[in-house]
Amino acid sequence: MNSLPQPSASPASAVTREALVHQLYEAAELEHNLMCTYLYAAFSLKSGTGEGLSAQEADATARWRQAILHVAIEEMGHLTAVWNITAALGGSPRFGRMNFPLDTGGLPASVVVRLEPFSAAVLQHFIYLERPDNSAEPDGEGFSPDFTFTRGDIRNRVTPMPVDYDTVGAFYKNLSANLVAFVARVGEKAAFCGDRNLQISRKEIDFQGCDPVICAKTALAAFDAIVSQGEGASEENPDSHYCRFLRIRDELQALKAANPAFQPAYPAAVNPVLRRPVRAGKRVWLENEDAAATVDVANSAYMLMLRLLSHTYLLPRPHPAKALCIDLALGLMRAMAPLAEQAARLPAGPSNPGCNAGMSFTALRDAAPLPPGPSAEKFFVERLQELVGGARALAVSLQTPRVAQALKVLEDLAQRAERRFPGVFAETAAIPAARGAQAAPAPAAAAAAVPAAAAAPATGTAVGAAVIEPGNVAPTPRTVDGVDYIEGRDLTLIYEGKKCIHSRFCVTWGPKVFIANVKGPWINPDNMSVDALTEIAHVCVSGAIRYKRKDGKPDEAPPPVNLVSVREGGPYAIRADIKLDGAPAVSHRLTLCRCGASKNKPFCDGSHHEVHFAASGEPPTGKADMLPVRDGPLAIDPETDGPLQVRGNMEIISGTGRVVARLESARLCRCGASNNKPFCDNSHVRIGFRSS
Ligand code: FES
């Protein structure tokens, strides 16, 4: 920020922690409300030529939708930064907000916020909201306040008082000045007394806004980032929300000039409400039962998302439930979006002819975090099941692809919650030991455990103790769930063919053990020393070859550095102490699909060859600062119809071994379409990627 901002308190009064938290609550409401209005407009946009658009118009509305959703996601990042600053100051972040239409006085008269479908006037309103201080952009037509008022009170009060501001940038300047004044009065250590492990960090999600707030410098940097990226951004920043909206306006004007009948959006309601309004004002009651039922499930998904996010601020890091809550919350957004789009395509009801419905973003009375522990888990699982029930009923009455998509996401989330929540507290207790860098490597029990069913020969052919000399016939494997167990004298060799990506290290490094081009049994473990054979297993990138030693020596240990290798035109090759979708992986080595074509997702099955997947194995180097710890658990959670969410210390390397990035969390593309490979850029939405 350029000029020194002034605190809002009068000289006689000192800025208090309560006043700062109060102002941060307004910041949270502001970001939250803006996010809802942007989402509402994006969901109302028509899609494709099937909805009455020309090819050129359809292309434009698809891009606008993406651009507005991207702005909304960045508002979510701003919101997270505000939550983190609140937590750093010892406060409890605000997740609730007033329902639409907002009560007068909740925000200054100059900041009008309401749910309204995309139009030239709404776009102009967005430009006005995001304008820099020196902008002369007018507000959108119809967005002037019903009456003007002031909220500020310069008299000395113990009770925090709201401030007035013309632009969002001015609000953050004032907030920054208040923070500086507070820190100057109480000292930095006392000011930032909150447990930093409660904040959402990039360990949980690599998301702008998730940087830790530990001091005045980091807090002010977060405010500065909010202002420079979005509201009040300078006109020179082409990536600011303001400039992005200006570009949409230019395009809209050109398309309208070419086709004055162009209607880019459905006539969704202004401030829809689910029940008969008890007050007059700009709101539309959704009488159409299909529309109301759609909005009902969408709202419930939104509310549960808020609850899950608020819950994360009670869970100190490292806590697997923290990441799980964030994943479920983001998943609920993916269920909410198609339902909100569906609502905009349904009539509102007989009292409002020509008007469609829309998601009302109804917030319940409170979104306070639930007491942590099994009761919260029960609450979340129960609620997800209720949402599945609601979506199933909806899918019976409204058989549309959007409702089906939402149902699929909700079912997946409910199953994931049921499967994952019960173990997370036990997992948490185990983390410090597992992370101890000096701890002796645990035997990779899970990596090479022989299932009980495999302990006894399935066929009665006792080959386990036989000494097989070179040239002898390879022993017949026992096969359990598609995995072959081949008994050698000092080791059980495990081979899982459907994971094999044919790197051919086995047949080229140990041709006497892995005998190519023979019919029937082809692996003869006793034709090589055990140590040499385990070395071959270790270079099998896919983990298709594993082993269990019988000579008393330790089995394969997790690597000292977690590696995610990006293979040219091929999969991710991962080496780490891997947890895949919440369960220990069978191997410390895995290859996961990144082309989107595997029939055995998330694993690679070689389909990248069939689809001629063209993707560089040499992406550019980005954030590569050394990590304080380089090993430890690596949790990989494949998102339904989306990327791989990876959490833990990792070095992403190119096919030639160059460092691409060193990160603590990443969303890795697995649809094959990202323009920012290996990272997800949400292209999976554009291409309609399906993970199952
Ligand atoms: S999974 Fe490919 S862009 Fe997201």
What global pTM score does this model have?
0.78
Could you identify the residue written with the tokens 């037509």? 141
- According to DSSP, the β-strands at 572-575 and 577-580 are unpaired
Distance (angstroms) between ligand 1 centre and the Cα of 303 equals: 26
For the record, the structure tokens of 190 come out as 């006392």
Separation in Å, CA 248 to CA 63, 64, 91, 264: 9, 7, 38, 12
Distance (angstroms) between ligand 1 centre and the Cα of 68 equals: 18
Distance (angstroms) between ligand 1 centre and the Cα of 672 equals: 7
Distance (angstroms) between ligand 1 centre and the Cα of 272 equals: 33
Q: What is the pLDDT of residue 398?
A: 96
Distance (angstroms) between ligand 1 centre and the Cα of 597 equals: 13
Q: What is the pLDDT of residue 2?
A: 39
584 Cβ contact list (under 8 Å, min separation 6): 446, 447, 578
Alpha helices by DSSP H, 161-281: 168-186, 188-191, 216-229, 241-258
> For residues 440 and 615, what is the distance between their CA atoms, to the nearest angstrom?
39
Is 199's C-beta closer than 6 angstroms to any atom of ligand 1?
no
Interhelix angle 241-258/120-129, nearest 10 degrees? 160
Nearest-atom number in ligand 1 for the CA of 643 is 1
> For residues 99 and 96, what is the distance between their CA atoms, to the nearest angstrom?
9
For the record, the structure tokens of 675 come out as 């323009």
Give mean pLDDT in consecutive 10-residue pieces for the chain, a chain of 692 residues.
Answer: 47 80 95 95 97 97 95 91 96 92 84 94 95 89 86 80 86 94 96 95 82 94 87 68 95 98 98 86 91 98 96 88 92 96 98 96 88 89 97 96 96 94 59 35 35 33 36 79 90 90 83 83 88 88 92 91 93 95 92 94 91 92 91 93 94 92 94 95 90 88
Residue of the nearest CA to atom 4 in ligand 1? 680
Q: Taking Cα atoms as reference points, which of 71, 81, 62 lies closest to residue 36? A: 71
> For residues 97 and 111, what is the distance between their CA atoms, to the nearest angstrom?
15
Task: Specify whether the CB–CB gap between 177 and 218 falls below 8 A.
Answer: no
> For residues 464 and 475, what is the distance between their CA atoms, to the nearest angstrom?
8
- According to DSSP, the β-strands at 491-495 and 545-549 are antiparallel
Residue 425, phi then psi, degrees to nearest 5: -75, -40
Task: Specify whether the CB–CB gap between 660 and 653 falls below 8 A.
Answer: yes
Local structure of 635: helix, strand or coil: strand
| Type and span of the H or E element at 645 | strand 644-653
Distance (angstroms) between ligand 1 centre and the Cα of 644 equals: 8
- Which residue spans within 498-566 are E strands per DSSP? 545-549, 563-566
> For residues 567 and 514, what is the distance between their CA atoms, to the nearest angstrom?
24
Local structure of 265: helix, strand or coil: strand
Nearest-atom number in ligand 1 for the CA of 639 is 1
For the record, the structure tokens of 367 come out as 């979104």
> For residues 402 and 424, what is the distance between their CA atoms, to the nearest angstrom?
32
Nearest-atom number in ligand 1 for the CA of 683 is 3
Distance (angstroms) between ligand 1 centre and the Cα of 394 equals: 28
Candidate of 613, 645, 670, 692 to mutate for ligand 1, largest count of ligand atoms within 8 Å of Cβ = 670
CA atoms within 13 A of residue 391's CA, in its CB half-sphere: 32
Is 643's C-beta closer than 6 angstroms to any atom of ligand 1?
yes
Distance (angstroms) between ligand 1 centre and the Cα of 51 equals: 26
DSSP state at residue 102: P
Is 666's C-beta closer than 6 angstroms to any atom of ligand 1?
no
Distance (angstroms) between ligand 1 centre and the Cα of 296 equals: 29
DSSP state at residue 104: T
> For residues 366 and 377, what is the distance between their CA atoms, to the nearest angstrom?
18
Helices (H) and strands (E) in the chain, counts: 18, 14
Q: What is the pLDDT of residue 425?
A: 52
In this structure, the chain runs to a length of 692
Task: Specify whether the CB–CB gap between 572 and 564 falls below 8 A.
Answer: yes
Could you identify the residue written with the tokens 């992005």? 244
Distance (angstroms) between ligand 1 centre and the Cα of 645 equals: 11
Task: Specify whether the CB–CB gap between 16 and 80 falls below 8 A.
Answer: no
Task: Specify whether the CB–CB gap between 308 and 379 falls below 8 A.
Answer: no
Burial of 102 (0-12, 13-18, 19+ CB in 10 A): middle
Candidate of 73, 674, 675 to mutate for ligand 1, largest count of ligand atoms within 8 Å of Cβ = 674
Distance (angstroms) between ligand 1 centre and the Cα of 162 equals: 42
| Type and span of the H or E element at 284 | strand 284-285
- Which residue spans within 515-629 are E strands per DSSP? 545-549, 563-566, 572-575, 577-580, 583-584, 589-592
| Type and span of the H or E element at 192 | none
Instruction: Tell me how far the alpha carbon of residue 9 is from its chain's centroid.
Output: 38
Separation in Å, CA 456 to CA 453, 464, 479: 7, 10, 11
Burial of 557 (0-12, 13-18, 19+ CB in 10 A): middle
Is 360's C-beta closer than 6 angstroms to any atom of ligand 1?
no
Q: Taking Cα atoms as reference points, which of 595, 590, 589 lies closest to residue 607? A: 595
Is 61's C-beta closer than 6 angstroms to any atom of ligand 1?
no
Is 680's C-beta closer than 6 angstroms to any atom of ligand 1?
yes
Instruction: Tell me how far the alpha carbon of residue 200 is from its chain's centroid.
Output: 12
Residue 22, phi then psi, degrees to nearest 5: -60, -45
For the record, the structure tokens of 561 come out as 């550095």
Candidate of 593, 680, 692 to mutate for ligand 1, largest count of ligand atoms within 8 Å of Cβ = 680
Is 683's C-beta closer than 6 angstroms to any atom of ligand 1?
yes
Candidate of 66, 640, 675, 684 to mutate for ligand 1, largest count of ligand atoms within 8 Å of Cβ = 684
- Please spell the DSSP secondary structure of 394-423, one letter per residue: HHHH---HHHHHHHHHHHHHHHHHHHHGGG
Is 638's C-beta closer than 6 angstroms to any atom of ligand 1?
no
Neighbours of 480 (CB within 10 A): 16
Could you identify the residue written with the tokens 């001629």? 612
Is 642's C-beta closer than 6 angstroms to any atom of ligand 1?
yes
